[in-house]
Chain A
Amino acid sequence: GQQLNQSPQSMFIQEGEDVSMNCTSSSIFNTWLWYKQDPGEGPVLLIALYKAGELTSNGRLTAQFGITRKDSFLNISASIPSDVGIYFCAGRTTGANSKLTFGKGITLSVRP
């Protein structure tokens, strides 16, 4: 089955620092999405990418859809304490029964 790889499992940064997260796949996806999950809550969509090469920003977040359609990255600039959480990448193929495939997530800790 399709798998998305996110590593490392955890990242620790200082408040104010930038951080970049990568997501890779052995197969092609037509849509890439980045979600954030807070403890005890469901994932919240941060950024959606629909075209290879697309670069999209949402406030301090920037994400890119890789040219090969097998990878994506998320960048958070000037981190703040509320950026703490688990960041998941997810990919979708197209078609009537397309479904979201999630990575295992990266837990981000921000030291004040």
Chain B
Amino acid sequence: NAGVMQNPRHLVRRRGQEARLRCSPMKGHSHVYWYRQLPEEGLKFMVYLQKENIIDESGMPKERFSAEFPKEGPSILRIQQVVRGDSAAYFCASSTLGASSITDTQYFGPGTRLTVL
């Protein structure tokens, strides 16, 4: 059973370009979470999605950032008009039970390291 997959692993963008980060959850997992990690910091929650629905986007900046988890295909985190401050590692996690279950376990992917020049 393959783990959570993220691609690309490294992404370089110039200021003003768009960044698209993809996440394929573990097989059978219908809950996806995105986190951002700045250097020497812990992970910060961004958004929680189920298939075709955004459940909680309270951690996501209101502008330039969007996320989707379509019925078919991977979850996408999209950052428009990137700025230097967007440089970070972006992690996706998936789970089977969802955030309302106390024993829900999130499995993390290897992350995408975004560098904005």
- A→B interface (CB under 8 Å): 4, 9, 30-31, 35, 40-45, 48, 50, 88, 90, 92, 94-105
A interface secondary structure, majority: loop
- B→A interface (CB under 8 Å): 4, 33, 35, 40-45, 48, 55-56, 58-59, 91, 93, 99-100, 102-103, 105-111
Q: Which residues of A contact B93 (CB under 8 A)?
A: 42
> In the complex, which of the residues B40, B44, B103, B110 contacts A41, with contact meaning CB atoms closer than 8 Å?
B110
Select the residue from A90, A99, A103 with max chain B CB neighbours within 10 A. A99
Q: Which residues of A contact B106 (CB under 8 A)?
A: 45, 100
Q: Which residues of B contact A41 (CB under 8 A)?
A: 110-111
Given A42-B108, A43-B91, A44-B108, A104-B42 contact (CB < 8 Å): yes
Q: Which residues of A contact B4 (CB under 8 A)?
A: 42
B99 with A97: CB separation less than 8 A:
yes
